[in-house]
Amino acid sequence: MINSLAKSGMLKVGLSLIAMTVAAGVQAKTLVYCSEGSPEGFNPQLFTSGT
């Protein structure tokens, strides 16, 4: 009984470490922003100019 609880705990710790590693890799990417266009607004129903 205790052995299965220890295995279960180790599995949870291992999965948590893997999840944190993947999350850190995703957060390390930089944000790419394209500022070529300059819209009048962000609601396409109200504005007709594309750039």
Give residue limits of the domains in the chain.
1-51
Task: Give whole-number Cα distances, 37 to 4, 34, 41, 43, in Å.
Answer: 59, 8, 11, 15
% of residues, the chain, pLDDT over 90: 0
Residue 44's pLDDT is what? 76
pTM above 0.85, yes or no: no
pLDDT in tens, 3-19: 777 788 888 988 888 88
